[in-house]
Copies of this chain bind each other. A is one copy, B any other.
Amino acid sequence: MSVSAPDIAPKTKPGLKLDLKTVGPLVALALLVLLGISLNENFLSYNNLTNVLARSSFIGIIAIGATFVITAGGLDLSVGSMAAVIAGVMIMVMNWLIPTFGVSWSVVLAGMAAGILLGGVAGVGNGLMITRGRIEAFIVTLGTMGIFRSLVTFLANGGTLSLNFQVADVYRPVYYDGLLGIPYPILVFALVAIGGELIMRRTAFGRHCAAIGSNEQVARYSSINVDNVRLITYILQGVLVAVAVLLYVPRLGSASSTTGVLWELEAIAAVIIGGTTLKGGYGRVWGTVVGVIILGLIGNILNLQSFISPYLNGAFQGVIIILAVLLQRPRRAS
Protein backbone atom coordinates (compact mmCIF):
# COMPACT_ATOMS: atom_id res chain seq x y z
CA MET A 1 0.00 0.00 0.00
CA SER A 2 1.19 3.49 -0.70
CA VAL A 3 1.75 6.08 1.99
CA SER A 4 -1.66 7.68 1.66
CA ALA A 5 -4.40 8.43 4.04
CA PRO A 6 -4.58 6.74 7.42
CA ASP A 7 -7.59 6.67 9.73
CA ILE A 8 -10.26 6.90 7.03
CA ALA A 9 -12.19 4.82 4.55
CA PRO A 10 -12.10 1.23 5.68
CA LYS A 11 -10.98 -0.07 2.33
CA THR A 12 -11.44 -3.70 1.38
CA LYS A 13 -9.24 -5.35 3.91
CA PRO A 14 -6.01 -6.35 2.27
CA GLY A 15 -5.48 -9.05 4.82
CA LEU A 16 -8.63 -10.95 4.01
CA LYS A 17 -8.18 -10.49 0.29
CA LEU A 18 -4.66 -11.80 0.36
CA ASP A 19 -5.72 -14.69 2.49
CA LEU A 20 -8.48 -15.83 0.20
CA LYS A 21 -6.19 -15.69 -2.78
CA THR A 22 -3.62 -17.70 -0.86
CA VAL A 23 -5.77 -20.24 0.88
CA GLY A 24 -8.31 -20.54 -1.95
CA PRO A 25 -6.85 -23.76 -3.34
CA LEU A 26 -6.41 -25.15 0.15
CA VAL A 27 -10.05 -24.52 0.97
CA ALA A 28 -11.09 -26.24 -2.23
CA LEU A 29 -8.87 -29.18 -1.34
CA ALA A 30 -10.30 -29.38 2.16
CA LEU A 31 -13.85 -29.37 0.81
CA LEU A 32 -13.01 -32.16 -1.59
CA VAL A 33 -11.48 -34.23 1.19
CA LEU A 34 -14.60 -33.76 3.27
CA LEU A 35 -16.71 -34.84 0.33
CA GLY A 36 -14.49 -37.88 -0.11
CA ILE A 37 -14.77 -38.85 3.55
CA SER A 38 -18.52 -38.53 3.48
CA LEU A 39 -18.74 -40.78 0.41
CA ASN A 40 -16.55 -43.65 1.42
CA GLU A 41 -14.95 -44.71 4.66
CA ASN A 42 -11.94 -46.00 2.77
CA PHE A 43 -11.26 -42.61 1.31
CA LEU A 44 -8.77 -41.71 4.02
CA SER A 45 -7.17 -45.14 4.05
CA TYR A 46 -3.44 -45.39 3.55
CA ASN A 47 -3.98 -47.36 0.39
CA ASN A 48 -6.34 -44.93 -1.24
CA LEU A 49 -4.26 -41.89 -0.39
CA THR A 50 -1.02 -43.40 -1.63
CA ASN A 51 -2.79 -44.61 -4.76
CA VAL A 52 -4.09 -41.15 -5.58
CA LEU A 53 -0.84 -39.39 -4.77
CA ALA A 54 1.32 -41.87 -6.62
CA ARG A 55 -0.69 -41.69 -9.79
CA SER A 56 -0.90 -37.90 -9.55
CA SER A 57 2.86 -37.73 -9.39
CA PHE A 58 3.40 -37.80 -13.18
CA ILE A 59 1.15 -34.86 -13.84
CA GLY A 60 2.46 -33.27 -10.68
CA ILE A 61 6.08 -33.34 -11.73
CA ILE A 62 5.19 -32.11 -15.19
CA ALA A 63 2.99 -29.37 -13.76
CA ILE A 64 5.85 -28.11 -11.62
CA GLY A 65 7.84 -27.61 -14.80
CA ALA A 66 4.83 -25.90 -16.33
CA THR A 67 4.70 -23.55 -13.35
CA PHE A 68 8.09 -22.18 -14.33
CA VAL A 69 7.25 -21.97 -18.01
CA ILE A 70 3.99 -20.16 -17.34
CA THR A 71 5.46 -17.87 -14.69
CA ALA A 72 8.01 -16.72 -17.25
CA GLY A 73 5.17 -15.88 -19.64
CA GLY A 74 5.43 -19.04 -21.76
CA LEU A 75 3.33 -22.10 -22.45
CA ASP A 76 4.11 -25.70 -23.32
CA LEU A 77 1.39 -27.73 -25.00
CA SER A 78 3.76 -30.50 -26.01
CA VAL A 79 4.36 -32.12 -22.62
CA GLY A 80 1.89 -34.97 -23.06
CA SER A 81 3.24 -36.05 -26.42
CA MET A 82 6.77 -35.49 -25.22
CA ALA A 83 6.09 -37.89 -22.37
CA ALA A 84 4.84 -40.47 -24.82
CA VAL A 85 7.89 -40.17 -27.04
CA ILE A 86 10.27 -40.31 -24.12
CA ALA A 87 8.51 -43.38 -22.76
CA GLY A 88 8.66 -45.01 -26.16
CA VAL A 89 12.33 -44.29 -26.69
CA MET A 90 13.22 -45.42 -23.17
CA ILE A 91 11.48 -48.72 -23.77
CA MET A 92 13.16 -49.19 -27.13
CA VAL A 93 16.57 -48.36 -25.72
CA MET A 94 16.15 -50.82 -22.86
CA ASN A 95 14.84 -53.59 -25.09
CA TRP A 96 17.68 -52.95 -27.46
CA LEU A 97 20.36 -53.09 -24.79
CA ILE A 98 19.26 -56.41 -23.28
CA PRO A 99 21.13 -58.59 -25.78
CA THR A 100 24.33 -56.73 -24.91
CA PHE A 101 24.02 -56.18 -21.20
CA GLY A 102 21.54 -58.79 -20.13
CA VAL A 103 18.66 -58.12 -17.80
CA SER A 104 20.12 -55.84 -15.20
CA TRP A 105 19.88 -52.52 -13.47
CA SER A 106 22.48 -51.11 -15.84
CA VAL A 107 20.01 -51.50 -18.69
CA VAL A 108 17.38 -49.67 -16.68
CA LEU A 109 19.82 -46.92 -15.80
CA ALA A 110 20.85 -46.53 -19.41
CA GLY A 111 17.19 -46.24 -20.36
CA MET A 112 16.68 -43.62 -17.69
CA ALA A 113 19.68 -41.65 -18.90
CA ALA A 114 18.36 -41.79 -22.44
CA GLY A 115 15.00 -40.52 -21.24
CA ILE A 116 16.44 -37.59 -19.33
CA LEU A 117 18.67 -36.73 -22.25
CA LEU A 118 15.78 -36.83 -24.68
CA GLY A 119 13.66 -34.67 -22.39
CA GLY A 120 16.43 -32.12 -22.20
CA VAL A 121 16.88 -32.14 -25.96
CA ALA A 122 13.16 -31.76 -26.58
CA GLY A 123 13.13 -28.83 -24.15
CA VAL A 124 16.07 -27.25 -25.92
CA GLY A 125 14.24 -27.65 -29.22
CA ASN A 126 11.07 -25.98 -27.96
CA GLY A 127 13.04 -23.32 -26.16
CA LEU A 128 15.27 -22.41 -29.06
CA MET A 129 12.42 -22.08 -31.51
CA ILE A 130 10.59 -19.85 -29.06
CA THR A 131 13.51 -17.68 -27.96
CA ARG A 132 15.86 -17.61 -30.93
CA GLY A 133 13.23 -18.28 -33.56
CA ARG A 134 10.84 -15.74 -32.01
CA ILE A 135 7.81 -17.89 -32.71
CA GLU A 136 4.81 -17.74 -30.41
CA ALA A 137 5.13 -20.47 -27.75
CA PHE A 138 1.59 -21.64 -28.38
CA ILE A 139 2.40 -22.39 -32.01
CA VAL A 140 5.81 -23.94 -31.42
CA THR A 141 4.53 -26.33 -28.80
CA LEU A 142 1.32 -27.07 -30.71
CA GLY A 143 3.60 -28.00 -33.59
CA THR A 144 5.93 -30.15 -31.52
CA MET A 145 2.91 -31.72 -29.84
CA GLY A 146 1.89 -33.02 -33.26
CA ILE A 147 5.43 -33.99 -34.12
CA PHE A 148 6.07 -35.91 -30.90
CA ARG A 149 2.72 -37.64 -31.07
CA SER A 150 3.37 -38.74 -34.62
CA LEU A 151 6.80 -39.90 -33.72
CA VAL A 152 5.62 -42.23 -30.99
CA THR A 153 2.87 -43.60 -33.23
CA PHE A 154 5.50 -44.19 -35.88
CA LEU A 155 7.97 -45.81 -33.50
CA ALA A 156 5.26 -48.06 -32.11
CA ASN A 157 4.04 -48.76 -35.60
CA GLY A 158 0.58 -47.64 -34.58
CA GLY A 159 0.52 -50.06 -31.70
CA THR A 160 2.10 -50.35 -28.31
CA LEU A 161 5.75 -50.49 -27.34
CA SER A 162 6.16 -52.93 -24.50
CA LEU A 163 9.11 -53.26 -22.22
CA ASN A 164 10.75 -56.68 -22.09
CA PHE A 165 9.11 -58.56 -19.24
CA GLN A 166 12.23 -59.38 -17.36
CA VAL A 167 13.50 -55.84 -17.42
CA ALA A 168 10.06 -54.66 -16.46
CA ASP A 169 10.33 -56.85 -13.38
CA VAL A 170 13.62 -55.22 -12.48
CA TYR A 171 12.20 -51.78 -13.05
CA ARG A 172 8.77 -52.31 -11.42
CA PRO A 173 9.81 -51.45 -7.87
CA VAL A 174 10.52 -47.88 -8.94
CA TYR A 175 6.80 -47.32 -9.13
CA TYR A 176 5.46 -49.90 -6.70
CA ASP A 177 7.98 -49.90 -3.87
CA GLY A 178 8.93 -47.12 -1.57
CA LEU A 179 10.77 -45.93 1.46
CA LEU A 180 9.27 -46.11 4.94
CA GLY A 181 5.94 -46.98 3.40
CA ILE A 182 5.92 -44.01 1.07
CA PRO A 183 5.95 -45.04 -2.57
CA TYR A 184 8.87 -43.73 -4.60
CA PRO A 185 6.69 -41.72 -6.99
CA ILE A 186 5.34 -39.74 -4.07
CA LEU A 187 8.83 -39.23 -2.71
CA VAL A 188 10.13 -38.01 -6.06
CA PHE A 189 7.11 -35.75 -6.47
CA ALA A 190 7.72 -34.31 -3.01
CA LEU A 191 11.40 -33.75 -3.73
CA VAL A 192 10.69 -32.07 -7.03
CA ALA A 193 8.04 -29.93 -5.36
CA ILE A 194 10.33 -28.84 -2.57
CA GLY A 195 13.13 -28.18 -5.02
CA GLY A 196 10.78 -26.29 -7.29
CA GLU A 197 9.43 -24.17 -4.48
CA LEU A 198 12.97 -23.36 -3.37
CA ILE A 199 14.04 -22.45 -6.88
CA MET A 200 10.99 -20.35 -7.49
CA ARG A 201 11.10 -18.51 -4.20
CA ARG A 202 14.72 -18.49 -3.21
CA THR A 203 16.90 -18.30 -6.28
CA ALA A 204 17.71 -15.58 -8.75
CA PHE A 205 16.41 -17.85 -11.51
CA GLY A 206 12.95 -18.00 -9.97
CA ARG A 207 12.93 -14.27 -9.46
CA HIS A 208 13.97 -13.74 -13.05
CA CYS A 209 11.18 -15.97 -14.31
CA ALA A 210 8.64 -13.82 -12.52
CA ALA A 211 10.27 -10.62 -13.77
CA ILE A 212 10.23 -11.81 -17.38
CA GLY A 213 6.64 -12.93 -17.17
CA SER A 214 5.65 -9.67 -15.57
CA ASN A 215 7.45 -7.32 -17.93
CA GLU A 216 9.92 -8.62 -20.42
CA GLN A 217 11.40 -5.24 -21.21
CA VAL A 218 12.04 -4.41 -17.59
CA ALA A 219 13.79 -7.71 -17.21
CA ARG A 220 15.90 -7.04 -20.25
CA TYR A 221 16.84 -3.57 -19.06
CA SER A 222 17.86 -5.12 -15.75
CA SER A 223 20.46 -7.06 -17.70
CA ILE A 224 18.64 -10.34 -17.28
CA ASN A 225 19.32 -12.62 -20.20
CA VAL A 226 15.68 -13.06 -21.06
CA ASP A 227 16.24 -15.59 -23.79
CA ASN A 228 18.42 -17.78 -21.65
CA VAL A 229 16.11 -17.77 -18.67
CA ARG A 230 13.19 -18.64 -20.88
CA LEU A 231 15.18 -21.35 -22.63
CA ILE A 232 16.05 -22.83 -19.26
CA THR A 233 12.38 -22.98 -18.28
CA TYR A 234 11.67 -25.10 -21.35
CA ILE A 235 14.67 -27.32 -20.69
CA LEU A 236 13.57 -27.72 -17.08
CA GLN A 237 10.12 -28.61 -18.34
CA GLY A 238 11.59 -31.21 -20.70
CA VAL A 239 13.74 -32.76 -17.99
CA LEU A 240 10.83 -32.88 -15.56
CA VAL A 241 8.66 -34.56 -18.18
CA ALA A 242 11.42 -37.14 -18.45
CA VAL A 243 11.52 -37.56 -14.68
CA ALA A 244 7.77 -38.15 -14.72
CA VAL A 245 8.26 -40.75 -17.43
CA LEU A 246 10.93 -42.52 -15.38
CA LEU A 247 8.17 -43.22 -12.90
CA TYR A 248 5.54 -43.92 -15.52
CA VAL A 249 7.31 -46.61 -17.47
CA PRO A 250 7.75 -49.08 -14.56
CA ARG A 251 4.06 -48.86 -13.79
CA LEU A 252 2.68 -50.55 -16.91
CA GLY A 253 5.84 -51.08 -18.90
CA SER A 254 4.38 -49.79 -22.13
CA ALA A 255 3.96 -46.73 -24.29
CA SER A 256 1.62 -46.09 -27.17
CA SER A 257 0.18 -43.24 -29.15
CA THR A 258 -2.37 -42.77 -26.39
CA THR A 259 0.18 -42.25 -23.65
CA GLY A 260 0.01 -38.78 -22.16
CA VAL A 261 -2.95 -37.58 -24.20
CA LEU A 262 -4.32 -34.36 -22.68
CA TRP A 263 -1.69 -34.26 -19.94
CA GLU A 264 -0.82 -30.76 -21.10
CA LEU A 265 -4.31 -29.53 -20.38
CA GLU A 266 -4.34 -31.21 -17.00
CA ALA A 267 -0.95 -29.77 -16.09
CA ILE A 268 -1.91 -26.25 -17.10
CA ALA A 269 -5.20 -26.56 -15.24
CA ALA A 270 -3.35 -27.65 -12.10
CA VAL A 271 -0.98 -24.72 -12.39
CA ILE A 272 -3.80 -22.22 -12.68
CA ILE A 273 -5.95 -23.79 -9.99
CA GLY A 274 -2.87 -23.40 -7.81
CA GLY A 275 -2.94 -19.66 -8.27
CA THR A 276 -0.23 -19.06 -10.84
CA THR A 277 -1.13 -16.35 -13.34
CA LEU A 278 -1.65 -17.67 -16.86
CA LYS A 279 -0.24 -14.49 -18.37
CA GLY A 280 2.93 -14.83 -16.35
CA GLY A 281 4.63 -12.81 -13.66
CA TYR A 282 3.51 -14.75 -10.64
CA GLY A 283 3.89 -18.41 -9.90
CA ARG A 284 3.77 -20.66 -6.88
CA VAL A 285 4.88 -24.23 -6.88
CA TRP A 286 3.06 -25.31 -3.74
CA GLY A 287 -0.16 -24.06 -5.31
CA THR A 288 0.48 -26.28 -8.29
CA VAL A 289 0.94 -29.24 -5.99
CA VAL A 290 -2.42 -28.51 -4.41
CA GLY A 291 -3.93 -28.11 -7.87
CA VAL A 292 -2.62 -31.48 -8.95
CA ILE A 293 -3.96 -33.16 -5.86
CA ILE A 294 -7.33 -31.52 -6.36
CA LEU A 295 -7.52 -32.87 -9.89
CA GLY A 296 -6.40 -36.29 -8.70
CA LEU A 297 -9.02 -36.35 -5.97
CA ILE A 298 -11.81 -35.36 -8.32
CA GLY A 299 -11.20 -38.50 -10.38
CA ASN A 300 -10.85 -40.60 -7.25
CA ILE A 301 -14.07 -39.30 -5.72
CA LEU A 302 -15.98 -39.90 -8.92
CA ASN A 303 -14.91 -43.53 -8.82
CA LEU A 304 -15.93 -43.88 -5.20
CA GLN A 305 -19.57 -42.95 -5.66
CA SER A 306 -22.50 -44.08 -7.75
CA PHE A 307 -24.82 -41.09 -7.74
CA ILE A 308 -23.31 -39.33 -10.70
CA SER A 309 -23.74 -41.11 -14.00
CA PRO A 310 -20.32 -41.85 -15.47
CA TYR A 311 -21.51 -39.87 -18.47
CA LEU A 312 -21.46 -36.77 -16.30
CA ASN A 313 -17.99 -37.22 -14.83
CA GLY A 314 -16.64 -34.48 -17.06
CA ALA A 315 -19.31 -32.09 -15.88
CA PHE A 316 -18.48 -32.73 -12.24
CA GLN A 317 -14.83 -32.17 -13.00
CA GLY A 318 -15.61 -28.94 -14.83
CA VAL A 319 -17.74 -27.61 -12.00
CA ILE A 320 -15.11 -28.39 -9.37
CA ILE A 321 -12.36 -26.74 -11.40
CA ILE A 322 -14.39 -23.58 -11.78
CA LEU A 323 -15.34 -23.58 -8.10
CA ALA A 324 -11.74 -24.11 -7.01
CA VAL A 325 -10.71 -21.00 -8.88
CA LEU A 326 -13.81 -19.08 -7.89
CA LEU A 327 -12.63 -19.39 -4.30
CA GLN A 328 -9.56 -17.33 -5.09
CA ARG A 329 -10.84 -14.92 -7.68
CA PRO A 330 -9.69 -11.33 -7.43
CA ARG A 331 -12.19 -8.75 -6.36
CA ARG A 332 -13.19 -6.21 -8.97
CA ALA A 333 -9.93 -4.79 -10.33
CA SER A 334 -9.75 -1.09 -9.61
Contact = CB atoms under 8 A, between A and B. Distances in A.
Nearest to A158: B311
A279 B268 CA distance: 16
Contact of A134 (B142, B317, B331): B331
A150 B319 CA distance: 11
Contacts of A138: 268-269, 272, 278
A297 to B, nearest CB: 16
A318 B143 contact: yes
B146 A329 contact: no
A82 to B, nearest CB: 12
Interface in A145-160: 145-147, 149-151, 153-154, 157-158
Contacts of A309: 154
A312 interface: yes
Copies in the complex: 2
Contacts of A279: 279
A35 interface: no
A322 B265 CA distance: 20
A325 B145 contact: no
A116 to B, nearest CB: 23
Contacts of A314: 146-147, 149-150, 153
A257 to B, nearest CB: 8
Contact of A272 (B139, B145, B273, B321): B139
A321 B140 CA distance: 8
A102 interface: no
A291 to B, nearest CB: 10
A49 interface: no
A49 B311 CA distance: 39
A142 B315 contact: no
A interface SS class:
helix
A136 interface: yes
A216 interface: yes
B269 A139 contact: yes
Interface in A84-106: none
Contacts of A129: 322
A150 B313 contact: yes
A146 B311 contact: no
A326 B133 contact: yes
A321 B139 contact: yes
Contacts of A329: 133-135
A187 to B, nearest CB: 30
A232 to B, nearest CB: 19
B315 A150 contact: yes
Given A134-B330, A158-B311, A311-B158, A322 B150 contact: no
Nearest to A269: B142
A145 B151 CA distance: 28
A309 B158 CA distance: 10
Interface in A109-153: 129, 133-136, 138-140, 142-147, 149-151, 153
20 contacts: A129-B322, A135-B325, A136-B272, A136-B325, A138-B268, A138-B272, A138-B278, A142-B265, A145-B318, A146-B315, A146-B321, A147-B314, A149-B314, A150-B311, A150-B312, A150-B316, A153-B314, A154-B312, A158-B311, A216-B333
